[in-house]
């Protein structure tokens, strides 16, 4: 997130004579990155990028605290002054805070202020809000916005008269309940839009209705209006994960939400509510109508955390690469707000300030603080010594590069797609081992892809109008649930990564062909695969018709699909995408795809060329034509013919016929069969005898008719 701060606001907290531009350069070098310094309406504004681990810097006080440490200047920090509070006094309103979900709400403070009059906020406050990118509304709302920018703690003011309470006059009791939303509870936010909440969402409520979506937005029914005279002011700390999940689920994003989801310190609520009361008393004429009530009995003002950490100067010098004496270390840490518990020539013991308790948790964190304030530019640079590490050879990467070059050289277009896809894109694929993203950016990136095929179909749908025919390929990873993880029925987020039960990553190759007329696409694609396997010197490859009972991939037309095999290894699958799948992706053209296992290709391929001795004896050729049923797999026929006798060297199909002359369910196939011996010249009678026995075997096994 970015924070825009007027330079004049910075000067309220620190006496400094440097220019805004120089301050911006030093702040960027030692702390937060200042993206730009702009002039607007006579005011110099610093636009600062706030990193996620530093929510304390998402405020004027946080940034000034950093600037004071950089310049070694005193931070002028004024504690809020609360007028008129007397704990022994009987105020008209008694507040009771009931937190039903203590894990989601870490701290909740509230106070009732009366005697207020809605008007415009002071001009100086409006100018600062506008310079910070916020729109002034009225004095009551503007003060909560101003305090949030000043100290980083979001506040919310409810119209007290719209809250259900008990009693009246000088004896009123109001119950503020922090609870989970009821099932399908619907609320109207300040933006007047309705949101359906679930049981995991947190709300602030009275005994009848929800008053706010906790940490995100107040409800319209309890909002401050022009007639408001009494408010209930809230200052709270919520679990960042709860706020983040709710915000993204209901698609509602606010300045308060962006701060709460970065984990604010519970200690901040006290300062913020007292500062707001001070401003309300000064500019709205507010009077206390109740005590400041805290859900956990915290003191009125923030305190330091109790965490103490030791920094060994020897470790600091080793990590930073420069010697920094203990006096400078003590000075740097003290300027950053650390309490120095003790120090000597070897060690410095410090107490971490409450606003850094979540991101400074160990010695290395404190060493980083020392290094950035000392100045990275002062650290001497040394060339690394020793031998360069040996090159790591990755066989999969090498094969992938070869496949990429081979296919690109033959005119195929490579595509790149994201590894996350929509659940809707899993049409025709098994969802058993699909890995769902716990916090997806949107519905289109909800699962890790189990196959390259959905990504290919999405790319085809987007590009189908560009060309009548085109061919594509993609080399990438697919993901599946770890087998052991699935057996144990465990969730990935519950595991320690050292258990080596991470999802399985597999390398795949997809080749696609689009728009080829008639049914030639299958054979053209098969030819590409055959050439590719021949290029990799993978032998004994064949295609087996997919069993129609196989439901693992319904993406293909079962009648036009085959498994790509090498010996007993299934390398992949090739086929025509069935019409229902094409329609679901919005594809209007015939599409053929092949999906190959790269790891298996790697294990089967070889770079060693094999040589065959020149033929010594002539081959004898015979032709054979048979009529068979259409449902008989051609691969089964060829395998039988090729392996029937050792003298059969090649089998070449030269004609296929289908027509009413031979029968509607029949097919005629004709081959050139070459017979040859490595030891002698074959006799005609010998070849004729083998040919006749082969014909009888085909008749017996496949009920073929010899033509």
Please give the DSSP secondary-structure letter assigned to residue 410: T
pLDDT band at 608 (very low <50, low <70, confident <90, very high): confident
pLDDT digits (tens, 9 = 90+) for 332-391: 999 999 999 998 889 999 999 999 988 898 999 999 999 999 999 998 887 777 787 788
CA 329 to CA 557: how far, in whole Å?
72
Is there a contact between 195 and 243 (Cβ–Cβ < 8 Å)?
Answer: no
Domains and CATH numbers, the chain: 2-71 (3.30.56.10), 93-294 (3.50.40.10), 308-376 (3.30.56.10), 395-604 (3.30.930.10), 620-706 (3.30.70.380)
Least confident of 140-149, 188-197, 295-304, 348-357: 295-304
Listed residue (11, 16, 33) closest to 71, CA to CA = 16
| pLDDT of res. 45 | 96
- Rounded Cα–Cα distance for residues 114 and 229 (Å): 6
pLDDT band at 488 (very low <50, low <70, confident <90, very high): low
Mean pLDDT value of segment 668-695: 92
pLDDT of residue 341: 93
Residues 551-580 have a mean pLDDT of 85
- If one compares 430 and 46, the residue with the highest pLDDT of the two is 46
Residues 6+ apart with CB under 8 A from 404: 414, 475
Question: Under a CB-based contact definition with an 8 Å cutoff, are residues 29 and 13 in contact?
Answer: no
Is the predicted pLDDT of residue 304 greater than 50, yes or no?
no
Q: Which residues contact 675 (CB under 8 A, 6 or more apart)?
A: 619, 620, 621, 622, 647, 648, 649, 682, 687, 690
- Nearest-angstrom CA–CA distance, 397 and 584: 34
Query: How does DSSP classify residue 221?
Result: G
Q: Work out the mean pLDDT of the chain and round it to a whole number.
A: 89
Who wins on pLDDT, 591 or 560?
A: 591
Most confident of 82-96, 158-172, 557-571, 692-706: 692-706
- Helix, strand, coil percentages (3-state) for the chain, rounded to 5, are 35, 30, 40
Average pLDDT over residues 655-660: 88
Residue 491 has pLDDT above 60, yes or no: no
Predicted confidence band of residue 438 (pLDDT cuts 50, 70, 90): confident
pLDDT over 90 percentage in the chain:
66
Tokens of 563: 């498994």
Give the relative orientation of helices 326-335 and 313-320 as an angle to the nearest 10 degrees: 80
Q: What does the alpha-carbon distance between residue 222 and residue 187 come to, in Å, rounded to a whole number?
A: 11
Residues 6+ apart with CB under 8 A from 541: 530, 533, 564, 565, 566, 571
Confidence category of residue 664, pLDDT binned at 50, 70, 90: confident
d(CA 216, CA 212): 8
- State the Rg of the chain over Cα: 38
Residues in Cβ contact with 494 at an 8 Å cutoff, skipping those fewer than 6 apart = none
Q: Percent of the chain having pLDDT more than 70?
A: 93
- Dihedral pair phi/psi, residue 7, rounded to 5°: -60, -35
Q: What is the pLDDT of residues 471-483, one digit of tens each?
A: 999 999 999 887 6
CA-based nearest residue to 67, from 109, 24, 96? 24
Mean pLDDT, range 20-38, rounded to an integer? 95
pTM exceeds 0.85, yes or no:
no
Could you report the per-residue pLDDT of 528-540, keeping only the tens digit for each?
A: 999 999 999 988 7
């Amino acid at each position: 997130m970015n924070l825009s701060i007027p330079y004049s606001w910075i000067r309220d907290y620190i006496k400094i004579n440097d220019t805004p531009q120089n301050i911006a350069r030093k702040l960027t070098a030692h702390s937060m990155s200042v993206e730009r310094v702009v002039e607007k309406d006579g005011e110099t504004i610093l636009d600062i990028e706030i990193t996620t681990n530093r929510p304390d810097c998402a405020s004027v006080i946080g940034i000034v605290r950093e600037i004071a440490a950089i310049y070694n200047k005193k931070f002028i920090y004024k504690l809020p002054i609360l007028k008129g509070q007397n704990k022994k006094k009987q105020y008209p309103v008694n507040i009771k805070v009931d937190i039903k979900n203590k894990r989601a709400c870490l701290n909740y403070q509230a106070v009732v202020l009366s005697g207020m009059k809605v008007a415009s906020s002071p001009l100086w406050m409006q100018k600062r809000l506008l310079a910070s990118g916020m729109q002034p509304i009225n004095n009551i709302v503007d003060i909560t916005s101003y305090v949030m920018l000043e100290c980083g703690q979001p506040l919310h003011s409810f119209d007290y008269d719209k809250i259900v309470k008990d009693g009246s006059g000088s004896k009123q009791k109001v119950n503020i309940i922090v609870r989970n939303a009821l099932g399908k509870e619907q609320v109207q936010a300040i933006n007047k839009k309705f949101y359906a909440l679930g049981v995991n969402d947190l709300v602030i409520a009275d005994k009848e209705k929800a008053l706010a979506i906790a940490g995100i937005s107040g409800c319209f029914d309890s909002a401050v209006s022009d007639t408001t005279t009494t408010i209930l002011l809230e200052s709270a700390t919520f679990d960042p994960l709860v706020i983040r999940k709710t915000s993204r689920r209901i698609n509602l994003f606010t300045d308060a939400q962006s701060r709460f989801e970065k984990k604010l310190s519970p200690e901040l609520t006290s300062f913020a509510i007292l500062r707001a009361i001070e401003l309300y008393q000064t500019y709205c004429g507010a009077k206390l109508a109740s005590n400041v009530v805290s859900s956990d009995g915290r003191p009125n003002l923030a305190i330091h955390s109790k965490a103490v950490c030791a920094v060994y100067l020897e470790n600091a010098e080793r990590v930073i690469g420069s010697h920094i004496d203990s006096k400078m270390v003590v000075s740097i840490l003290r300027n950053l707000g650390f309490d120095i518990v003790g120090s000597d020539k070897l060690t410095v013991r410090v107490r971490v300030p409450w606003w850094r308790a979540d991101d400074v948790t160990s010695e290395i964190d404190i060493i980083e603080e020392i290094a950035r304030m000392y100045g990275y530019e002062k650290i001497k640079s040394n060339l690394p010594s020793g031998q360069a590490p040996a090159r790591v050879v990755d066989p999969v990467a090498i094969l992938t590069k070869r496949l990429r070059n081979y296919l690109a050289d033959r005119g195929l277009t490579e595509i790149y797609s994201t590894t996350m896809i929509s659940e809707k894109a899993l049409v025709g694929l098994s969802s058993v081992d699909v890995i769902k993203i716990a916090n997806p950016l949107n519905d289109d990136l909800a699962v890790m892809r189990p196959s390259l095929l959905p990504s290919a179909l999405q790319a085809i749908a987007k590009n189908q109008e560009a060309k009548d025919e085109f061919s594509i390929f993609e080399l990438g990873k697919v993901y599946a649930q770890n087998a052991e993880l699935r057996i144990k029925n465990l969730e990935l987020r519950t595991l320690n990564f050292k258990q080596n039960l991470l999802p399985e990553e597999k390398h795949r190759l997809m080749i696609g062909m689009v728009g080829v007329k008639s049914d030639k696409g299958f054979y053209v694609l098969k030819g590409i695969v055959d050439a590719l396997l021949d290029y990799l010197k993978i032998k004994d490859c064949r295609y087996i018709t997919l069993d129609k009972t196989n439901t693992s991939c319904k993406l293909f037309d079962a009648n036009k699909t085959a498994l790509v095999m090498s010996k007993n290894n299934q390398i992949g699958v090739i086929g025509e995408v069935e019409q229902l799948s094409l329609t679901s992706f919005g594809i209007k053209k015939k599409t053929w795809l092949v999906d190959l296992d790269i790891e298996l290709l790697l294990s089967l391929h070889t770079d060693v060329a094999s040589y065959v001795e020149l033929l010594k004896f002539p081959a004898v050729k015979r032709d054979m034509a048979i009529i068979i049923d259409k449902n008989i797999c051609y691969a089964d026929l060829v395998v039988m013919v090729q392996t029937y006798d050792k003298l059969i060297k090649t089998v070449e199909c030269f004609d296929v016929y289908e027509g009413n002359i031979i029968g509607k369910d029949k097919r005629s196939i004709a081959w050139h069969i070459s017979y040859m011996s490595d030891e002698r010249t074959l006799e005609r009678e010998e070849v004729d005898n083998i040919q006749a026995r082969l014909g009888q075997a085909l008749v017996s096994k496949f009920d073929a008719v010899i033509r």
